[in-house]
């Protein structure tokens, strides 16, 4: 994990551990053999357990998610 200090510099926090879970749901309609339409929704859930012992010694746990809804044209070879 990168953190910013007062001077604007970044540093890597070696006490950080994280995991991610991706969930998705999609539908594809292909009336022809090679060209189709695709609608999908994907969500990522990032879990982080951050122990910053250099500043406060307090364990910080948080969850953050990112959702994406998209549609497009798919082409199959």
**C-alpha closest to that of 23 among 44, 47, 46, 48:** 44
The answer for residues whose C-beta is within 8 angstroms of residue 7's C-beta and 6 or more apart is none
User: What are the domain boundaries of the chain?
Assistant: 16-75
Residue-wise pLDDT for 8-26, tens only, equals: 544 444 444 556 666 778 8
Three-state SS for 32-53 is CCCEEEEEEEEEEEEEEEEEEC
Q: What predicted TM-score, i.e. pTM, was given to this entire model?
A: 0.36
Average pLDDT over residues 49-58: 52
**Which tokens hold the place of 10?**
């970044």
């Amino acid at each position: 994990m990168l953190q910013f200090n007062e001077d604007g510099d970044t540093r890597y926090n070696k006490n950080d551990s994280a995991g991610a879970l991706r969930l998705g749901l999609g539908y594809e309609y292909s009336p022809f053999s090679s060209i189709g339409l695709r609608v999908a929704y994907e969500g990522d859930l990032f879990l982080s357990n951050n122990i910053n012992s250099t500043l406060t010694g307090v364990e910080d746990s948080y969850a953050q998610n990112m959702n994406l809804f998209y549609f497009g044209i798919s082409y199959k070879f």
